[in-house]
Structure 1
Amino acid sequence: MALLKILLAEDHHVVRNGIKLVLQSQADLSVVGEYDNGQAVFEAMEQSIDADLLITDLDMPIKGGISFIREFAQHYPHLPILVLTMLDDSRHLAEAFSAGAKGYLLKNIGAEELIYAVRRTSAGGQYLCEELSMRFVEQAIQEQHTKSSIATDPQYDLSERESEVLQLLADGYTNKEIAEQLFLSRRTVEGHRENLINRFGCRNTAVLIKRATGLGLLR
């Protein structure tokens, strides 16, 4: 059985020891380097340490965060990065994957999920922890329910012309430009805009567009 060599970057000593114990409970996993900041990881790489995977926190002193992931991925693209963090918001998640991470885990995961994620990412795959995956599924279900409610609500049953005007307003066109595109009078376009604002209960066009976007009525 081939030994999978892991670098572990975590600035909390107790947490780092716990992760190490979980990993090294497996015969095929070995932590070959432990660090409390990103700079120390780079120094180890410069010494040609032999490794197959980096597990790293996002919040570390000296060198850490998304910038550390991006820089590491650029210098060592052959070495997968698995993020293990407390940060559970979509912004950090998206930025981490965009920067080059291959996996994203929350620190409250169980040992089995951590081990599975390590093996999957080291084999060339990607992984998002179950808690975040299910959260996105639940959001998608809620959005679908919202769209279904909108589809049956006469308040949002727009005519084809109203939909066209709404979309062009969202695209930044003026009343005059919309009138020219749709071969309508400017007064007619202004009438559609005012009707939409009133129907959606908005104060102005900007609020109208924001609400229509949230309701999924714009492309």
Structure 2
Amino acid sequence: MINLILAEDNELVRIGLRTIFKDKGVQIVGEATDSEELLSLIKSFDAEIVLIDYTSFGFEIDVIPKALALRSNLKFVAITPVQSGQTLIHALKSGVVSHIKKDCSIAEIVDAVNETAKGKKFFCGQILETINKEGIDVEELGDTEFSCEPIALSQREIEVITLIAEGMTNVEISDKLFLSKHTVNTHRKNIMNKLGVKNTAGIVMYAVKENFTTPNKYLFSTDE
């Protein structure tokens, strides 16, 4: 039996999830309607999985690392509306193990919890499509480390990094900064070389680390 906590502010959604997991080898030990309540439940119950919509009212992405500080073996499965690649990166870096969408099939929702409980990662087809489209390396996200050595970035490179982290494409950045697409692409390559990262995910992680942007700022982005 898998002990599960539901973290969702919408009562109708919680009722639906209760119904889905009935007789599926999952015991719902608590239901949280906001971050504070979730942390309280984690202290009180020995749960293995938290199924969370971190975009729902009363929750924020920062509750995940706080929860993991209380119980490090806890595993988070996110179930949200459509999210951008940048938001997925923030979620995965915050401690989300598996990610599905609210309009996924019942089988996918159940599989996500079961597979995560076994120590595996699970992403529904739509989330995988976004991950692949954005070039996100899920395994690399958990292992990437940034050097403590100072990195010499120009003001223009910082601007480009910030706009990349905000989800802008090279074309959008070139329009905003009045640069050619070739120049923006050159900046992107130079930035990746300086940071020692291989993809957009690494640039976004650096931007968050250096407070050029924040995990919560683009939480509700629905760009694909």
Tell me which residue corresponds to 1:210.
184
Report the CA distance between 1:42 and its aligned residue.
1.2
Query: In structure 2, the residue corresponding to 1:5 is in which secondary structure?
Result: strand
Report the CA distance between 1:86 and its aligned residue.
0.9
Where do 4+ consecutive residues of structure 1 move more than 6 Å?
none
Query: In structure 2, the residue corresponding to 1:31 is in which secondary structure?
Result: strand
Report the CA distance between 1:209 and its aligned residue.
1.9
In structure 2, list runs of 5 or more residues that go unmatched.
136-152, 155-174, 194-224
Query: In structure 1, the residue corresponding to 2:103 is in which secondary structure?
Result: coil
Residues 79-118 of structure 1 mapped to structure 2, 5 A cutoff: 79-118=74-113
In structure 1, list runs of 5 or more residues that go unmatched.
141-170, 173-201
* Cα distance per residue 1:9-48 (max 9 Å; x no partner): 110000111011101241x1111111211211111223x3
Please say if 1:36 is aligned against 2:33: yes
Q: Which amino acid aligns with 1:50?
A: D
TM (norm. structure 2) is 0.60
What is the identity percentage for the equivalent residue pairs of Structure 1 and Structure 2?
18
CA 1:50–1:95 in 2, change beyond 3 Å: closer, same or farther? same
CA 1:13–1:110 in 2, change beyond 3 Å: closer, same or farther? same
- Indicate conservation of the 8 Å contact 2:32/2:41, yes or no: no
Provide the aligned C-alpha RMSD in A: 2.8
Report the CA distance between 1:115 and its aligned residue.
0.7
Indicate the structure whose relative CO is greater, using CA pairs within 8 Å and at least 6 residues apart: 2
Tell me which residue corresponds to 1:51.
47
- Indicate conservation of the 8 Å contact 1:102/1:126, yes or no: yes
CA 1:29–1:213 in 2, change beyond 3 Å: closer, same or farther? same
Alpha-carbon distance between aligned partners in 2 of 1:118 and 1:80, rounded to the nearest angstrom: 9
- The alignment of Structure 1 onto Structure 2 pairs a total of residues equal to 153
TM (norm. structure 1) is 0.61
Query: In structure 2, the residue corresponding to 1:66 is in which secondary structure?
Result: coil
Alpha-carbon distance between aligned partners in 2 of 1:61 and 1:135, rounded to the nearest angstrom: 24
- Name the larger-Rg structure: 1
